[in-house]
Chain A
Amino acid sequence: MLTLYLSGNEAIAHGLVQAGVRFITGYPGTPSSEIIPAAQKLVKEKNIKAFIDWAINEKVAFEIAYSVSLTGIKTAVTMKQVGLNVAMDPFMNSAYVGTDGAMVVVSVDDPGPHSSQTEQDSRFFAMTGKVPVLDPSTVQEAYEFAKKAVQLSKRYSIPVMLRSSTRISHGRGDVKVEEDFILEPINATFKILKDWDKKLPRYAATPRQRLMLHGLLNEKIAEIEKLNELRTFFSGDILILSSGAVFSYLYELIEEHGLEDKVTLAKVDMPYPMKKFDFSGYKRVITIEESMPVIELQLCTEGRRNGIVPKQGELTPDVCEEILERIGLIKKGKTISVPPLKRPSLCPGCGHRIALYALKKVFGKKAVYSGDIGCYTLALNFGVTDTVLCMGASVSFGLGIKKAFELSGKNQDVVAIIGDSTFFHTGIPPLIDAVHYRVPFLTVILDNKTVAMTGNQKTLSDHVSSFGEPVTPIVIENVVQGIGVKFIQAVDPYDFNSSIKILKEAKKFLKENKEPAVIIFRHLCVNTKEGLDANPIYNVKILKEVCKGCKVCITEFECPAIFFNEEEGKVDFDKTLCISCGCCVHVCPTKAIVLI
């Protein structure tokens, strides 16, 4: 045994690879993004042959990994909880058809939410898809359950979900890991002709055969259910059921408040499928779980249904303490009010900022800016994003809202804003519809050649894979042209004057032609080493005698390196943050910011 200080995501990667998983794909999404890089690092270190890399979106990732599991190889797919929505179609089918090798679906929830659109509970999706789900409570368990998930999947030929959450995935701990890795040769077998007739009805099932498969699935679930035991701690006559990170908070609180003889705490390792238990020896049975009532509904306990557990928000240790108070077990001290932290902004020198500033200059405040998921969502701080829904929705919104304006005889401009990776993920289909229906709105693609918000993963424009093998870069212009968009221009947004010129041309094009236009703003993310090294250096200074203190450079542009000096009533630069990109010289209406 080795003791390593691992994050939950690293622990999951370790468990998967150790249990023999040799094919992992996924799409980045906080808080799940570090699993794939950690697994890549591990197989490189151990010299293990494997395919571990990103896919274009979660649906594709799921289908790829699932198909590989049908060839007898152990596979996994990783995503954040909203990514599972994108993968729902293959996910719902996968348990019916089952696996041959093994398949672990890692879905990481984000109660809070800290960096997501929803607080949905992947365990609920597992229940809907009849997929068994393991729910680790500590980083150590993240490692162990990853291995367990592989074994369970292999044993019952069924995909198994490993549900993690922000606190587990982005938690760290001393983890005891085994030193040995399962080393079996990769040997894909599929379509062996002599028994293919027998197997075909499973892989290409008709609705009638699906019904049979559903019956078989129910049998598997019944078997797995039988094995699913509770682990109990302490010995009171109030039974609290829990799973995931929340279990660990409750365990700590029970010890801290000396409730060991008042409460029995039951740990559910597998929240679905669950069998019924005899709880007649307990006075009350309550489930405290994140973030939806999965155990509560299966076992008909108290919890959210009678208002003991809040229906939204993370169940932090502080909230768990309030819950124990509501049950009548403790009296909590006074609640401490927490001052808000400064809102996040785009990085100093980020190419998105100057691109979107130019966009606002040309299209004005009245235009509707439909935004998307990425760093650039932060442009809502300076008025260049009006909507954010889900991945790729900026382009569909652009189409929909422009069409609605057309139907109403209104002449309002509409601009969709989307990043390169999000465009590939789900932005292409709505653009195809937009060309087909000839809807005149502008789509701005912010191409920084990385998945910046989730920690700079590779994109489809790369020339080499994560393992250094050559891959074919996908050129956005070619895709857009292939769809049939006529107006396509690409520009580096640091070239402010050209950006303004192209934006004006696009505006004119949209007026004169009844069809969509696309502008690609291309600038490397300055939060990467390559991006920062390649960035031009333009030192700036502020002419204090010219600055009127109007704050336009702050409210309309919001570079974190520019701050208002209250004493002087003028702005100053924070030199520790400024990267000398020179972009702010285009912003000051009185020309108080100049190049040195």
Chain B
Amino acid sequence: MKLVILGKGGQGVIFFSRMIAQAAIKRGLSVRSTEIKGMAKKGGTVEIQMKIGEGMSGLVRRGTADMVILLSNDIFDYAKTFGENIFSFNENEVKTALSSVPMRYVNTFLLGVFVKKTGLFECDDFMDLFDEENKKSFIKGCKYVQS
């Protein structure tokens, strides 16, 4: 599977990529990735290309990504160069995340939403990657999709 995760610094791009990678490694899959961080720390684009269970390098050619996870909508056109299948969170999901868990756990909530919605992984794959608080927030995210 070829993934590209895109967003701005501070939006959790790195967090998402690490969690997905850990979950895949736990399943015994190979993970290769590459990180390109722009010079600007805040507001600059962060781009992760990742191959799971295939390939030797982490690089994903334009137009070949199975999914692009986009955390910042203003780079939609750029994201599209990697592939047509773009996943992003809608306003409701972000709002619910912000209102149901403390700021620090918003990312884990959204990860829960992502896992449940895409079905690329099982929620169980992630459970022992988290501490208690993150786990609670992750489960809330998973449950939000079910409801």
Residues on A lying within 8 angstroms of B by beta carbon are 3, 5, 7, 114-115, 137-139, 167, 170-174, 245, 248-249, 251-252, 316-318, 321, 333, 336-339, 341-342, 344-348, 375, 378, 453, 527, 560, 577
Contact = CB atoms under 8 A, between A and B. Distances in A.
Nearest to B76: A339
B33 A172 contact: yes
B102 interface: no
Given A5-B22, A339-B78, A344-B39, A318 B32 contact: no
A346 B40 contact: yes
Contacts of B31: 5, 172-174
B21 to A, nearest CB: 5
Contacts of A339: 77-78, 81
Given A174-B31, A245-B57, 15 more contacts: A5-B21, A167-B59, A171-B33, A172-B33, A251-B56, A252-B57, A318-B61, A321-B61, A338-B78, A339-B78, A341-B45, A341-B78, A345-B40, A375-B39, A577-B43
B36 interface: yes
A316 B57 CA distance: 11
Interface of B: 18, 21-22, 25, 30-45, 55-63, 75, 77-78, 81
Contacts of A341: 38, 45, 75, 78
15 contacts: A5-B18, A137-B56, A171-B34, A172-B21, A172-B32, A173-B32, A173-B33, A174-B25, A174-B30, A174-B31, A249-B57, A338-B81, A339-B78, A341-B78, A348-B42
B56 A318 contact: no
A172 B59 CA distance: 11
Pick the 5 closest A-B CB pairs, nearest first.
Answer: A344-B40, A248-B56, A248-B57, A344-B39, A336-B62
Contacts of A344: 38-40, 44
B38 to A, nearest CB: 5
Nearest to B34: A171
B84 to A, nearest CB: 12
A486 B78 CA distance: 52
A249 B56 CA distance: 7
A455 to B, nearest CB: 9
A341 to B, nearest CB: 5
Given A173-B32, A341-B75, A317 B59 contact: yes
Nearest to B47: A341
Contacts of B75: 341
Contacts of A7: 35
B18 to A, nearest CB: 7
Nearest to B26: A3
A7 B18 CA distance: 11
Contacts of B62: 318, 336, 338
Nearest to B33: A172
B40 A336 contact: no
Contact of A114 (B36, B41, B63): B36
B32 A577 contact: no
Nearest to B39: A344
A231 to B, nearest CB: 13
Nearest to B78: A339
Contacts of B63: 333, 336
A176 to B, nearest CB: 11
Contacts of B55: 248, 252
Residue of A137, A173, A249 ringed by the most chain B CB atoms within 10 A? A173
Contacts of A3: 25
B101 to A, nearest CB: 18
A112 to B, nearest CB: 9
Contacts of B45: 341-342
Contacts of A174: 21, 25, 30-31
A30 to B, nearest CB: 9
A378 B39 contact: yes
A229 B56 CA distance: 21
B112 to A, nearest CB: 21
A172 B58 contact: yes
Contacts of A342: 45
B26 to A, nearest CB: 10
A453 B39 contact: yes
A336 B81 contact: yes
Contacts of A338: 62, 78, 81
A7 B59 CA distance: 14
Nearest to A336: B62
A212 B44 CA distance: 54
B32 A170 contact: no
B41 A167 contact: no
A322 to B, nearest CB: 11
A481 B103 CA distance: 48
Contacts of A248: 55-57
A320 to B, nearest CB: 9
A339 B61 CA distance: 15
A577 B42 CA distance: 8
B114 to A, nearest CB: 19
